[in-house]
Structure 1
Amino acid sequence: MASITEQFNDIISIYSAKLEHSSLRQDSPEYQGLLLSTIEKLLNLRTAIFDRLALFSTNETIDDISTTSIKFLAVDYYLGLLISRRQSNDSGVAQRQSMKLIYLKKSIESFISFLTILQDYKLLDPLVSEKLGNFKDRYKPQLSELYAQPKNDKDLSGAQLKRKEKIELFQRNKEVSAKLHYLELELRNDGEDHDHDELLRELYLVRLSQFSLDTFNNIEQNLFECEMLSNFLKNSSHEIESPSTQIRKESNDNDSTGFTDKLENINRPLIDKKGQVLRNFTLVDKRQQLQQKVRGYGQYGPTMSVEEFLDKEFEDGRVLQGGEEPEQVPDEENMHWQDKETYKAREWDEFKESHAKGSGNTMNRG
């Protein structure tokens, strides 16, 4: 039988090589099957480490733990990563989203357990430890509890505070990653000048610190996804049909008015002899139906041009006309009209004689 260390290393290698960056879709049966078997192995290993072998105790400090056992403190961290990738194979969308919400909450609980263990051994990064203490319910954190909030609701500095804390976490993660990279290089080039056990121990502790910072980011991402799924389930109109609903629909078939809401009964008459409307309908003619087939985009748009619509409105008498004064046709036999036109022509001739062409602007002024 493989040792605890061999089992742990085997699980980590499977996660790194086949699950973390897999060519398979996460919702594929092959991926989920491998993921489920890996979770079962890790749960059995966790039981052996914490219960059967009791490698860790609350009465101990980190100095009392052997170097080879330090890496086992990350069991809950990897368990949270694995559970967050679980997906249901239910056919219904609402059922799948509901199960995904459960998996994400379980993943958050595993991440919190990992941070709590590090805090008990005084290994947790101070930035993360402060945030962990702000949770009202430690294993059920809220998205609003991750970052500092202004005391006054009217204070608009919340975004600035969040940005400041994110920068601090990023810089801290950058420092830890650089230190981890340095220790890994030192371990590869380990010679007689270095104590191998001390170097390996420091490497494990720095790696746990990096895991704690990564865990906080994973908790934030999971809480974001939980909030989206919760809103989706609240607003979802896809409900499982209950037996009472089926009975109610069957009773509608025997309605005295003949009304039915079943989509398949589209050949029933539009109205009965008494004028009762039996189903929704739209008035169309053959020409409109042909236009729908030609001009449609999948969703049918208007099938009458503006000109056709106006012609139809004029034809049906729906357009109001008139309102302006009718044009008066002159009566050439009317003596009064003839005198008026004669005087008008004389005045125009006199004006042209007294105002020669070009005399209006002799100075060429614009």
Structure 2
Amino acid sequence: MPERRRIVELWRTGVGRVLVTLVRAEGSSYRRPGARLLLGAGGQYAGTISGGCLETEVTRKASWIVRHGAAVERYSTLFDDTAEIPFGLGCGGTVDLLFEPVETAEAEALLVAMEGALAGKEATVKTWLPEGGLGLRRLVVNATGEVLFRSAGISDDEMTGVYEERFGAPQRLVLIGAGDDARPVAAMGALLGWNVEVLDGRAQLARAERFPGASRVRAVEDLASIPFEERDAVVVMTHSYEQDRAALAALLRVPRLRYVGILGARHRTALLVAEASAMVGVTVEETCGRIHAPIGLDLGGDGPEAIALAIVAEVQASCQGKLPASRRLTPGDVAAQIELGGASRYLSSQCAV
């Protein structure tokens, strides 16, 4: 996702000349199909298509390859060269790269779709590769099936040589809590290209200058006003027991979320789970099944940055369906922790005078 942002930014400067896309890979390949490299005038570029072994050769020949229009070139990363494959680089596979000049309507349609997806407008792109004597053609449709772009000469039943990809919206990461330990979480999420939103009821902490990588920072008293979506990942980390309890109760009222993590000690979180569940009218078992606590993968280390890495790693793994064995609370854990004492130690003390 960060790569797409950089490609769109370079394209919008007007210096882009050739767009290179990895469309097929056989054997070992550092990048998967969909990886892109935009080459600009004066040696400027954005994106990558390999671990660095192909970029120099591609940059040197790109303008020559597209002199007659879009073309597909095969590159070997095997040790042994062949007549059909340009050269060997010793990485273990072969890749097919699509070269297309940026000034064509098809390339512009693709880049506009990429830009729209970054703003949340998902799209599917089908590209008929320039093979078998036919030129490159492209079809772009939005999430509702509306055709946004269609090259001339596309047959509805023609599927040979089609490369299809979906441009999804960036992952949205919502941090409920704007303390100092939230800052590295926001920074790492932004580095991955996520849309990071920071919410906190404390206006003195919820300031944009404290979270330069976040897409939005707001002081919010009532989370009921926030329109959460099913694909959102949410981390609760205010360090205020009352605020965390209110946040968890609000999140339990949302039908489904991709990820919900609660920062805090196991005993404290168990009490939060019990009380928030009672507030909303759901079972402790249901709540335990919806949250990640203790939060973060067990990576070791100490300090805000190490904790942030563990949190972001767990969010990434969860969103990608790659989450390893979980340390999540169970209803039995909650009951055992409640026996150790109530929540009074976590509540803010107030002077009665």
Bin the TM-score by the shorter chain: under 0.3
Question: What TM-score comes out, normalization by structure 2 length?
Answer: 0.18
Which structure's residues are more often helix, by fraction? Answer: 1
If you compute each CA radius of gyration, which structure gives the higher value, 1 or 2?
Answer: 1
Q: Which has the higher strand share?
A: 2
Name which structure has the greater RCO, CA cutoff 8 Å, separation 6+.
Answer: 1
